[in-house]
Amino acid sequence: MPASESSLTSYADLLAAVAPAGDSRPILDPATGELVAEAPVHTVDDLEKAVATARAAQPSWAGLGHPGRREALNRAADAIDAAAEGLAELLSREQGKPLNGPNARFEVGGAAAWLRAAASFDLEPEVLVDDDGGRAELHYRPLGVVGAIGPWNWPMMISIWQLAPALRMGNTVVMKPSEYTPLSVLALAAVLNQVLPADVLHVVSGGRDVGETLAAHPDVDKIMFTGSTATGKAIIRSSADTVKRLTLELGGNDAGIVLPDADPQAIAEGLFWGAFINTGQTCAAMKRLYVHEDIYDDVVTSLAEVAKTMPMGVGLDENNVLGPLQNKAQYDIVAQLVDAARDAGARIVLGGNPEQDQPGYFYPATLVADIDNDNPLVAREQFGPALPIIRYSTVDEAVEMANGLDVGLGASVWSSDKDAALEVAARMSAGTVWINKHGSVDPRVPFGGAKQSGYGLEFGVEGLKHLGAPQVISY
């Protein structure tokens, strides 16, 4: 139906659409502790029904061809636009992120934009050989049913990153959202399912048993997973018996290197958002910053001046751009790492002392200077609003420290000299290296990790290929 005919637009409409019919559990606002709504608790039996229904629906969905699926995805993006404010409010209440800044409204808008981008890409057969000896073409066919397991930090955006290319390629999708943020994904799917054909997209909101069954299911042809490296390894093991295809976007702990020629004031705001977007709860956020000794103090000072201006609080307050940690477990990890860094002699430049008498999992934006590279705040992915800043003397030393961990999702180099930055970037062990920015993604540009940050590519035409089965036709 046209977006103007969409019946799910308001916050109240969306909550009604995802209201549980059976077992449920409460979802609380991480900023206030108040009840957002009850979320359904689906079972393995529910998952089995979803997979069977998705498999039955897949041939007719694939039969629409690229033009038909493109039209359906564009209409689905229109439906997101029509429900944008209601979706953003639900996302803010459930995940905690503010409405403004690069947060809830940004995420919902990005979901619609990514759908349109996935719909727009052309994937023509590749001519491999065409000579007197014959012709060979490389085609990509639908896989079948794709299982998608998502995280709690960007629940709507990452769901779209998974489902958009999967559907575009003619697969049907069964999604398992994080137990922390099921309402956001259920509501997003309800909006999409107003315009998609029946049964091509399912959401099963269950516990670990549902995720484990999905990963091992013999009728699921591929798993897409965004989350921790440990869980990714478990999915690899679970998928082995069915030789299931995988796309895994795992842990990051991204490094940034500031070269000695950089302008501290010019880069300070970019550094801040590179590290603190979504209050630091982003896989490809900058988690450790290496700064040359010649400009170290100036960078720390400039970064602190920017961080002081960023208001933190309840997401529905239009003034805030930083929110709480999404859950108590993550709050405790950040607090413990910062406390341990302080105890080890590191200097807390800003933050580090959360208010104890306020509701919600608020941890202040925290900058930690004069810290050793082997400190746990540096070596572990903190996934929150605490940035360690490490001093270095030579570029070789910085590159060695940046590459010293077993993960490599993203990295960045900051410099006034593009050629110098590019030279350092080529030495970084990461799937993406940004210059004078960090964490910016584009639906046209492939994205994936190195080392134990996962494998497989998302986004762009290459991302579509990873949701298809390659087939060579030779004649």
pLDDT tens digit sequence for 221-245: 999 999 999 999 999 999 999 999 9
Amino acid of residue 335: A
Phi-psi region of 370 (alpha: psi -120 to 50; beta: other; left: phi over 0): left
Start-to-end C-alpha separation, the chain: 43
Distance CA 350, CA 365 (A): 7
Q: Tokens 């002699």 correspond to what residue? A: 345
Which residues are within 8 A (CB) of 416 and not within 5 positions of it... i.e. 6 or more apart? 261, 262, 263
Catalytic site residue 249? yes
pLDDT of residue 355: 86
184-216 burial: b if 16+ Cβ within 10 Å, else e:
bbbbbbbbbbbbbeebbbbbbbbeeebbbbbbb
How far is CA 305 from each of CA 42, 274, 309, 310, 319, rounded to the nearest angstrom? 47, 15, 7, 10, 18
Question: Do residues 299 and 272 lie in contact, with contact meaning Cβ atoms separated by under 8 Å?
Answer: no
- 94, 179, 249, 458: the catalytic one is 249
Phi, psi for 239 (deg, rounded to 5): -85, -10
At residue 444's C-alpha, the angle toward residues 443 and 449, to 5°, is 75
How far is CA 47 from each of CA 19, 213, 223, rounded to the nearest angstrom? 18, 8, 14
pLDDT of residue 1: 43
Number of neighbours of residue 385 by Cβ within 10 angstroms: 28
Question: Do residues 341 and 382 lie in contact, with contact meaning Cβ atoms separated by under 8 Å?
Answer: no
**Nearest partner of 361 among 318, 317, 327, 391, judged by Cα:** 327
Sign of CA dihedral 271, 275, 277, 283: positive
pLDDT of residue 2: 44
Distance CA 46, CA 21 (A): 13
β 201-203/432-435 pair status: unpaired
pLDDT of residue 210: 97
Q: Tokens 């998952």 correspond to what residue? A: 47
H helix or E strand, kind and range, residue 168: helix 155-168
- Region 253-281 average pLDDT: 98
Distance CA 185, CA 183 (A): 6
pLDDT of residue 3: 41
**Nearest partner of 267 among 299, 292, 296, 305, judged by Cα:** 299
Q: What does the pLDDT look like over 183-230, one tens digit per residue?
A: 999 999 999 999 999 999 999 999 999 999 999 999 999 999 999 999
pLDDT of residue 7: 85
Pinpoint the alpha helices (H) of 18-145. 44-63, 65-82, 84-95, 104-120
DSSP 458: B
Mean pLDDT for the chain overall? 97
Question: Do residues 199 and 6 lie in contact, with contact meaning Cβ atoms separated by under 8 Å?
Answer: no
Question: Do residues 147 and 204 lie in contact, with contact meaning Cβ atoms separated by under 8 Å?
Answer: no
Strand locations in 13-149 (E): 24-28, 35-40, 126-131, 134-142, 145-149
pLDDT of residue 357: 81
pLDDT of residue 5: 58
Q: What does the pLDDT look like over 359-388, one tens digit per residue?
A: 999 999 999 999 999 999 999 999 999 999
Q: What does the pLDDT look like over 396-454, one tens digit per residue?
A: 999 999 999 999 999 999 999 999 999 999 999 999 999 999 999 999 999 999 999 99
